[in-house]
Amino acid sequence: MIHQKIQVSKIFLYPLKGGAPIALESATAVSTGFLYDRNWVVVDKTGKFISQRTHPDLRLIETHISGDAIFFKNLDTGERSGTFSISPNSKTTDAIKIWNDTVTAEYVSAQADRWFSGMLGGSLRLFHLSDIYKRFAEKKYAGSEKPVSFADGYPFLIISEESINDLNSRLKNKVDVLRFRPNIVISGCKSYFEDIMKEFSIGDIRFQGVKSCARCVVITIDQETGLKDPEPLTELSKYRRADNNIFMGMNLIHSGEGIIRLGDEVRIIKLLQD
């Protein structure tokens, strides 16, 4: 076991898959991850989700939630979408594709489609996570049926500030932790300590590290300018490559619900080598 105190240093929410993050002082963990995290997704005319891989301007779409209402804002122009219900009134559903999963999701509205299509280009539609039709994390790693939102695969992603600092010590141009789109950032540990955090708790919530996160070209997109650069993928490939993938951060499943706050202690239960 370790003796240093590990704490939650940053919390991020991404209501729109691929969209701008929301930095929070506290967030509520529910069965699918943080409340509202990746609960909305934009799909193309084939029903496949879009991401910054093909639509880097997704990074400019900020989500605003107040009560039962939600709207989206273009951070570049200030243009706002219409206001929609968090739970779409139409209850119209359709099958959409999130990677290899076919998911039944709730359609939001034609007004939302026009706004997203106008901003991002193409024929796009907006969908909301259904309370009825579930999606589950990959059972091979999760071990059982663990609900997940429209996130790539798992309810949470964790990374340490020390890992980012180590990476930046190797780079000419430093990168921000948001390149890696974590939900929980921790500090007070060794770099890449998240790799071996097999079981731990934050408050009343117990987490398991189930799969290191394989990174793609999204981490090469500057979140302020939208420009792509080979880094940090090139540098990471020198020392974080395994099985033809490049890894950074740890995917988590969890049990329990509750509030996670900045400064909360991360209590280690089991390390990978234990």
Q: What local confidence, expressed as pLDDT, does residue 220 receive?
A: 98
pLDDT digit string, tens, across residues 126-145:
999 998 999 999 999 999 89
Using CA atoms, how far apart are residues 137 and 57, in angstroms rounded to an integer?
Answer: 27
pLDDT digit string, tens, across residues 161-208:
999 999 999 999 999 999 999 999 999 999 999 999 999 999 999 999
What average pLDDT score do residues 241-262 get? 97
pLDDT digit string, tens, across residues 71-86:
999 999 999 999 999 9
pLDDT digit string, tens, across residues 12-21:
999 999 999 9
User: pLDDT band at 39, cuts 50/70/90?
Assistant: very high
Q: Is the pLDDT of residue 2 over 80?
A: no
Separation in Å, CA 61 to CA 68, 115, 156: 19, 11, 21
Domains for the chain: give ranges and CATH numbers. Answer: 6-34+137-271 (2.40.33.20), 40-128 (no CATH)
Q: What local confidence, expressed as pLDDT, does residue 274 receive?
A: 63
What average pLDDT score do residues 114-133 get? 96
Percent of the chain past pLDDT 70, that is, above it, reads 97
Q: What local confidence, expressed as pLDDT, does residue 89 receive?
A: 63
Q: How many residues does the chain have?
A: 274
Using CA atoms, how far apart are residues 70 and 30, in angstroms rounded to an integer?
Answer: 19
Three-state DSSP string of 1-36: CCCCCEEEEEEEECCECCCCCEEECEEEEECCEECC
